[in-house]
Amino acid sequence: MRLLPVSRRAALWLFCSPLAFSTGYAATVSKNQSTSKAAQTGATAHAQAADAPVVMHPRHSKGAGVAHATEAEQIIATGRHSRSEQTVGHAQMQRTLPGINPIKSLQILPGVVFNDADPWGNNEQNSSLFIHGFAKNQLGYTLDGVPLGDQDYGNYNGLSPQRAAISENIASASVATGAGALGTASTSNLGGTLQFTTQDPLHHAGGQLDQTFGSWSTFRTFARIDTGDFGNGNSAYVSWGRQDARAWDFAGHQGGNQVNAKFVHEDEKNKISVFFDWSQKVEPNEDGIVMPNGGSLYVRPFMYPNFSEAVNYYKNSADYTNAGLNYRNYYSAAQREDYLMYTKWSHDFSKDLKWDTQIYYHHDLGEGVVAGPITAAGLPTLFSAYFPNQSSSELSSVFGGSGMATRTTEYWDNRGGITTGLHYHVGHHNIELGGWYERNNNTQARRWYALDVNNPTTPYERQQNALINQYTNNFYTNTWTTHLQDTWQVSKNFALNAGFKSELVYTNGTLPVAALPGSLSPKTAITVPGGTIASVKPFLPAFGALWNITSHEQWFANIQENMRSFEAAGYGNATPWGVTSQQAFDDFRKHGKPETSWTYETGFRTNRHLDAGPLTNISGQLEYYHVHFSNRLLAVATTQTLSSIIGSATTLTNVGSVSTDGMDFSFTAQFGPHFSFYNALSYNKSVYNDNYMNGATAVYTAGKNVAGVPDWTEKFVASTRWGNFDAQFIGDVVGKRYTTFTNDLHASAYALFSLNAGYDITGIPRIRSLRVQGNITNLTNEKGWSTLNTNNASGQYTAFPIAPRMYFLTLSATF
């Protein structure tokens, strides 16, 4: 939402740096400028409300577009909010690694722990994100204000940011690590919010062509054409991206094609933006290692495309069964196709009254597919429900004679909605009133297909002619939220804000196709017809304060309550519709409660130009936070199966609360115009407060650390720039993480380092700039565990490996 005009008496601190980021206040700076000059000249002081976003560009200027040597480079910035919020700009994202997942670019910020088994952070099956103790599906995500859902794998209400927009078109990525703005269009943000913005078209006509080459046959292409200004305040661009890279430990190729287009019209009182995204990708997935049974295993590669190896592997019962839980599948992949569109209109009725409205639509067609042995534990029982009285050889013939079957989870999602907000400035008050409505129709189906020994399928094609339609769930969700907030500029240096959010989510889950009796685990379980359940909190308050202690120091504080609505998913998931009896569903509908949280955060910011020898500027932020997370819901398995391909019946259990205390400390030290050093140190202590029952067995989790969340993390970036040359050395240290709820197992700490260096070549006829950039990821070739699938029982967890050292070279030309 756009900035409200507010009292001129509030100071805005803007400092510039040639470093690609800074924990100081928002700024843009030419790559050829020095920090000392920028710090001395400062910037025009725009008064802002205590909870208003920092303005990265004036209202009627376009986004920086392609950030090469002759253009403005957006740096990481700390916003002037009553809560903690920091932003990574376009240039820093692409320096970290061209084509990076915007979420991964936030990995350098304090309090953010992101893991993935590929260097871009694109693989969704084995990605994980924790912010202040909350997992990725407990956070909120938006792109240009459009809700992106909760980012669960097999997402039922959105899509990942890298599928919503091409990485090179992202202008900035921001994270509020404690609690997000009241107007954030999300019903999952128990913890922080992540907001991504796309670039506007450039004022001048031109183009960009990027080509990346690298390890494991990486070949990434990005092309964009800008029309420049045409007509009366009109401009547009269209772009295309394609990525193809071999998975580093098996023969699958990950990637796909994506198209973005954006049109912007601006005049004195209006800004109209129209955005379109089409994304189609296939990601053959890395399989995790089940620990500690994995022993010395580090990777668990699929056998595709070696079909004969797979057939012989499953026929050789000794090799297959000795692998235990870590047996190899033939292939697995995530196939996704998305269409996302929005139209946004911002109108100024007067200098004191402004209005924003946005209409959006998203369609997703997805399929998660696994091809593996029909003799996996539990499968003969499942198949016998649909093909009774079949011998093992007859059953193999039914499924194509290969000894394998293909399981899919198929997704259809159609959702559309509207967000709107009024911003009114009167006296010393800035009042914001807004709302969001979304209608989401989504379907999830579990199906089984033959894998013909004479015509085997591949992970890149859609399955056809299902042998078994095991079950299908349809969900119809209406989401209504409203919010009201007032920011009061009490005095020249002190502001208060207070408001509330109302959240009403109504989901009707139906079961057009039910699983046959005996086809689930245990055999007595059923898929349930379901019904309608509401997640309702009409009053979720928020309070904040912002005090300019001096012209360089600032204190902030924020208190906020949030609610997470129930996920719209079926069997095996932590949702009311995932239970395995209608009685259990009806009981939860009467007595179940949605997850809620109270977040308390306070902190201190500083940004000072210095004349202390080589040290010319210091900026930083220190924050303390406390979170109380109530009604934590857990899908407690009623049975333990020997194969994850089958799944297990679950009961949805309220396992009590979690308490979190932590601190984030980050600073940037600038040493003249050529060197800078950024460091972020975070401490987090997230603890379960209660024990719970797993059937008749007590699980003693009270006082234990939340699994998957490290106590300590350390990040740093050392940067240098000499003329058109720049380089960075980046470090990410993650401490020990417990891997079970009872803390009896853990994954060791690890340290990852990366290096990037680039040079901007100018003066080439017909080319505005040519940038050559090299990247090395996992510089020391560290081995360890990235994403962890933690377990609610003791003695077992699943871990994914860290990607090895890789090299990349990118050529980027702007015209």
What percentage of the chain reaches a pLDDT higher than 90? 77
- pLDDT band of residue 497 (cuts 50, 70, 90) is very high
**What is the three-state SS of 384-421?**
HHHCCCCCHHHHHHHCCEEEEEEEEEEEEEEEEEEEEE
Mean pLDDT for 767-795 is 92
d(CA 803, CA 119) in angstroms, rounded, equals 7
- pLDDT band of residue 693 (cuts 50, 70, 90) is confident
pLDDT score, position 59: 40
Per-residue pLDDT for 679 more than 90?
yes
Kind of pairing between the strands at 769-777 and 494-513: unpaired
- pLDDT band of residue 70 (cuts 50, 70, 90) is very low
Weakest-pLDDT range from 12-16, 320-324, 724-728 = 12-16
SS3 129: strand
pLDDT score, position 645: 64
- The residue among 120 and 642 whose pLDDT is bigger is 120
The overall average pLDDT reported for the chain is 88
d(CA 306, CA 666) in angstroms, rounded, equals 49
- pLDDT band of residue 638 (cuts 50, 70, 90) is low
E strand or H helix at 115, and its extent? Answer: strand 112-115
| 235 domain-assigned | yes
| 741 domain-assigned | yes
Count of beta carbons in the 10 Å neighbourhood of residue 318: 7
Mean pLDDT for 361-375 is 95
E strand or H helix at 35, and its extent? Answer: helix 35-41
Weakest-pLDDT range from 157-161, 484-488, 634-638 = 634-638
| 631 domain-assigned | yes
Per-residue pLDDT for 76 more than 70?
no
SS3 338: strand
Closest CA to 72 of 112, 103, 43: 43
What percentage of the chain reaches a pLDDT higher than 70? 89
pLDDT score, position 12: 31
Per-residue pLDDT for 719 more than 90?
yes
| 567 domain-assigned | yes
pLDDT score, position 21: 34
The encoded tokens of residue 792 equal 């609610």
Taking phi first (over 0 means left), then psi (-120 to 50 degrees means alpha), and beta for anything else, what does residue 693 get? beta
Task: Quote the number of domains for the chain.
Answer: 1
Weakest-pLDDT range from 375-379, 680-684, 732-736 = 375-379
Weakest-pLDDT range from 417-431, 622-636, 782-796 = 782-796
| 14 domain-assigned | no
Mean pLDDT for 641-654 is 67
> In CATH, what number is assigned to the domain containing residue 674?
2.40.170.20
Residue 84 · residue 177 · CB < 8 Å = yes
Per-residue pLDDT for 4 more than 60?
no
DSSP assignment of 273-292 equals EEEEEEEEEEEEPPPPEEET
d(CA 345, CA 347) in angstroms, rounded, equals 6
Q: Whole-prediction pTM value?
A: 0.91
pLDDT score, position 376: 86
Residue 49 · residue 30 · CB < 8 Å = no
pLDDT score, position 646: 61
Domain assignment of residue 355, given as a range: 21-814
| Look-up of token digits 């500027």 | 617
SS3 237: strand
pLDDT score, position 632: 95
- The residue among 71 and 625 whose pLDDT is bigger is 625
Per-residue pLDDT for 57 more than 80?
no
Per-residue pLDDT for 60 more than 70?
no
pLDDT score, position 644: 55
Per-residue pLDDT for 450 more than 60?
yes
| 301 domain-assigned | yes
Per-residue pLDDT for 44 more than 80?
no
- List, in sequence order, every residue forming a beta bridge with 719; answer none if it has no partner: 676, 728
Per-residue pLDDT for 110 more than 60?
yes
pLDDT 10s digits, 249-298: 999 899 999 999 999 999 999 999 999 999 999 999 888 999 988 778 99
d(CA 560, CA 189) in angstroms, rounded, equals 11
- The residue among 697 and 65 whose pLDDT is bigger is 697
Per-residue pLDDT for 728 more than 90?
yes
Per-residue pLDDT for 369 more than 90?
yes
| 12 domain-assigned | no
pLDDT score, position 273: 98
The encoded tokens of residue 88 equal 């990574």
CA 435 → CA 152, 154, 172, 422, 438, distances in Å? 25, 27, 24, 9, 10
- The residue among 179 and 593 whose pLDDT is bigger is 593
SS3 304: coil
| 1 domain-assigned | no
The encoded tokens of residue 456 equal 């085997």
pLDDT 10s digits, 519-569: 988 888 889 999 999 999 999 999 999 999 999 999 999 999 999 999 999
* Extended strands (E) in 453-572: 468-489, 494-513, 532-548, 553-564
Kind of pairing between the strands at 140-143 and 193-198: parallel
